[in-house]
Chains A and B, each alone.
Chain A
Amino acid sequence: MTTIPVSWYLIVSALLFTIGTIGVLVRRNPLIIFMSIELMLNAVNLAFVTLSSYLDSADGQVFVFLVLTVAAAEVVVGLAIIVSIFRTRRNIDVDEMNLLRG
């Protein structure tokens, strides 16, 4: 069995990160934008795990746990904000959010 080289993992991670970035920039629904950000964070996790195994160091894996925990906390706060906006506006499109500008 041949092992998959490290660079492939990193390329997949970079691809995921790019897809996430494009998602944030293109999509207009905050929920989808939020999912794209989660995708970016998971790309980071993949990179950390890969590098941790490659470097034989535990730092990367510990970092992944931190990122997972923080991402979960962000989901809570983010969805709460989105729900609170939906309650007053019945619309959560980010293009409609233009009260503050100038």
Chain B
Amino acid sequence: MSFTYIASAADWARIAPELVLAGVALLVLLVDLLLPQTGSVPRERGAANFFVLPFLALLGVLGALAATIVLFVVGDGQRAFFGLVGSDWGSLYAYLAILSAAGLGIIFSPAYLKRLKLVHQGEYYALFLTAALGMMLLAAATSFMTLFLGLETLSLALYILCGFVTRRQGSQEAGMKYFLLSSFASAFLLYGVALIYGATGTTRFGARETNAFPGVLQFLQAHPQSTALLLIGIGLLTVGFAFKVSAIPFQMWTPDVYEGAPAPVTAFMSVGTKAAALVAFARVFVVVLAPVAADWQAVVWALAVLTMVGGNLLALVQRNAKRLLAYSSVAHAGYLLIGVVVGGATGLAAILFYLLCYAFLNAGAFGALSALERLDNSGCDREDLRGLWFRRPWLAGFLAFFLLGLAGFPPMAGFAAKYYLFFAALQGGHPELLLIGVLTSVLGMYYYLRLIAAMFMEPAREAQAESLEVTPALAVASAGTAGAGASVAPRVSGPLGRAASTRSGGAGSGVAGAAVAVKAAPQTATRRAPAPATGEQLAEEEGLPGHSFAWTTWLGLGLAALGALALGTVLPFWLVDLALKAAAML
């Protein structure tokens, strides 16, 4: 066996979006080292870090997005590096969803990091971009090698990001659980790949339209009878993939990780991982393993039904909004698996379009929660969300908007996405999946609407509301410095002040807020007497001094809402057409 290494410039051009992301990820690390120190503030806490680094990372995402669009227009859609990476429209379409989620996640980050005093930002954004890079590789993989490489790139980056809030035990726990369970699943997937390699003699997928780089597909077309080795391999592969897309019964990690991870990371990973893994799942099963479809179709059918029913039922009993959204994302994985069962161009196109819609809705919902989450991971229970409309109407409005979209109400993207998916199920000859999908969606509306009802209709409990709304000011008051009070005032009275403090309350002006604080101080202070550390802890929760970057949260929420609305009203016809063409090229 002798080998020569030949890679043409055209090959590199076909993976331009990945190259842009990789370059910017390294650049972010470098710039993090070079940022100047201002005054006595430690360098990594300087205001520049909170602006320059996310801006740079966002530029990277936008650059990758631009490269993707350029490839859509002028790319030849051929595979790069001897059939290892695809640059077809299907991969590019998945890039759109992944990059949208990454961009939104980055926009949500500065305010969150500032509020929780997370200062190691160079790593944070570099890992963010690396994870996006891994997702894109996974979605574009046309060989089991690239698939594995992409999967591990995204996983390794996300393990660290999940455990990024090192002072919060829940975050560490999320990182650990994700790490152990995900590597366990990777081992299964890998063993499946090894056995399929043994059965077919290649790790390449092989393209549908050309025989230039023959792979598993060509072998299976020539030998459609399945051997024991191949069957065991497909089984193990299914387990690995089902874990990655969090299909029931392999979903146990999802709620824990989504709850423990920092909210902007959850916003990104819940969408990105799902999009990448599902596109890879669809490509491997619907396209590559198509000749032996009879062997796996029943298993994936059962997974889809279990996931739809189980995800929605488990979401019903959740009290924490982040866990509820995690189970709802499990349920959405179930809907998406319909597309895999149905297969064909319609099924694949429905998956691609659904993922794009889901990116905006889910990232938006978690982004809204990121403005509520506190350092100790509280703040997202249903009790905390009660009466949110009266305290922070804009935030409640946005959250309700995204929840309604996820539930599938018409003006938002969720409806169009579900419509095309169920339409594909009917057209593909699976009316039972359509029926189960619609019924479980109705079930799903219950928990979304109950959360919305809690925000809009139930007043917050008196005692809780008082302590919640007064404490930031109280912490300042107990510190006994009038100057500190003055520094709070402009923040509360500013137009974006509602996002600046975790619970700014209905205080119209900083002066009124301070007055309330003084009035309530004796009563609350006695109640909190046994815990002298409370004041300090709360002061810490106020975040680092200086600009709060709350406007970034609003920017992200606005963009996500705009995207969700556009996908639901103006764009679906055009985008579904594009998805149909893309699916034919997968």
| Bound: A54/B195 CA distance, A | 13
User: Within 8 Å CB of A97, what residues of B?
Assistant: 173, 176-177
What's the minimum C-beta distance from B305 to chain A, rounded to whole angstroms? Answer: 24
Q: Is B296 an interface residue (CB 8 A)?
A: no
What's the minimum C-beta distance from B166 to chain A, rounded to whole angstroms? Answer: 6
Known: A43-B191, A47-B191, A47-B194. A74 touches B183 (CB 8 A): yes
Contact of B175 among A66, A81, A88 (CB under 8 A): A81
User: Within 8 Å CB of B179, what residues of A?
Assistant: 74, 77-78, 81
Q: Is B184 an interface residue (CB 8 A)?
A: yes
User: Within 8 Å CB of A10, what residues of B?
Assistant: 198
User: Within 8 Å CB of B259, what residues of A?
Assistant: 100
Closest to A46 in B: B194
Q: Which residues A68-87 have CB closer than 8 A to chain B?
A: 70, 73-74, 77-78, 80-82, 84-85
Q: Is B3 an interface residue (CB 8 A)?
A: yes
The interface size bin for chain B is 35 or more
* Residue pair B160, A63 in contact (C-beta under 8 Å): no
* Residue pair A63, B323 in contact (C-beta under 8 Å): no
| Bound: A74/B105 CA distance, A | 24
Interface centre among B148, B159, B183, B259 (most CB of A within 10 A): B183
What's the minimum C-beta distance from A91 to chain B, rounded to whole angstroms? Answer: 11
* Residue pair B255, A102 in contact (C-beta under 8 Å): yes
* Residue pair A37, B156 in contact (C-beta under 8 Å): no
Classify the interface of chain B: helix, strand, loop or mixed. Answer: helix
Q: Mark A41-79, 1 if CB is under 8 A from B, else 0.
A: 101100110010011111110110011001001100110
What's the minimum C-beta distance from B549 to chain A, rounded to whole angstroms? Answer: 26
User: Within 8 Å CB of A100, what residues of B?
Assistant: 170, 173-174, 177, 255-256, 259-260
User: Within 8 Å CB of B152, what residues of A?
Assistant: 70, 73-74
Known: A55-B201, A70-B152. A20 touches B187 (CB 8 A): yes
| Bound: A37/B197 CA distance, A | 21
Q: Mark A16-42, 1 if CB is under 8 A from B, else 0.
A: 010010001000001001100100110
Closest to A33 in B: B180
Q: Is A11 an interface residue (CB 8 A)?
A: no
By the criterion of a CB under 8 Å from any partner CB, how many residues of chain A are at the interface? 44
User: Within 8 Å CB of A81, what residues of B?
Assistant: 159-160, 163, 172, 175-176, 179
Closest to A98 in B: B173
Q: Is B149 an interface residue (CB 8 A)?
A: yes
User: Within 8 Å CB of B183, what residues of A?
Assistant: 34, 37, 74, 78
User: Within 8 Å CB of B318, what residues of A?
Assistant: 102
What's the minimum C-beta distance from A18 to chain B, rounded to whole angstroms? Answer: 10
| Bound: A55/B180 CA distance, A | 33
* Residue pair A85, B187 in contact (C-beta under 8 Å): no
* Residue pair A62, B163 in contact (C-beta under 8 Å): no
Q: Is A12 an interface residue (CB 8 A)?
A: no
| Bound: A81/B198 CA distance, A | 35
Q: Which residues B90-111 have CB closer than 8 A to chain A?
A: none
* Residue pair A82, B176 in contact (C-beta under 8 Å): yes
| Bound: A58/B202 CA distance, A | 9
User: Within 8 Å CB of B175, what residues of A?
Assistant: 81, 84
User: Within 8 Å CB of A55, what residues of B?
Assistant: 197-198, 201
User: Within 8 Å CB of A54, what residues of B?
Assistant: 198
| Bound: A7/B256 CA distance, A | 41
What's the minimum C-beta distance from A86 to chain B, rounded to whole angstroms? Answer: 10
Q: Mark B408-419, 1 if CB is under 8 A from A, else 0.
A: 000000000000
* Residue pair B194, A70 in contact (C-beta under 8 Å): no
Q: Is B578 an interface residue (CB 8 A)?
A: no
Name B's A-contacting residues (CB within 8 A). 1, 3, 144-145, 148-149, 152, 156, 159-160, 163, 166-167, 169-170, 172-177, 179-180, 183-184, 187, 190-191, 193-195, 197-198, 201-204, 255-256, 259-260, 318-320, 323
| 6 pairs, A vs B, C-beta closer than 8 Å | A67-B148, A74-B183, A81-B179, A88-B166, A88-B167, A94-B176
Excluding A60-B197, A81-B179, A84-B166, 9 further A-B contacts by CB distance (< 8 Å) are A34-B180, A37-B180, A60-B203, A63-B144, A73-B152, A77-B160, A78-B159, A88-B169, A88-B172
6 closest A-B pairs by beta carbon, nearest first, are: A40-B187, A100-B256, A47-B194, A51-B198, A70-B152, A59-B203
Name A's B-contacting residues (CB within 8 A). 10, 17, 20, 24, 30, 33-34, 37, 40-41, 43-44, 47-48, 51, 54-60, 62-63, 66-67, 70, 73-74, 77-78, 80-82, 84-85, 88-89, 94, 97, 99-102
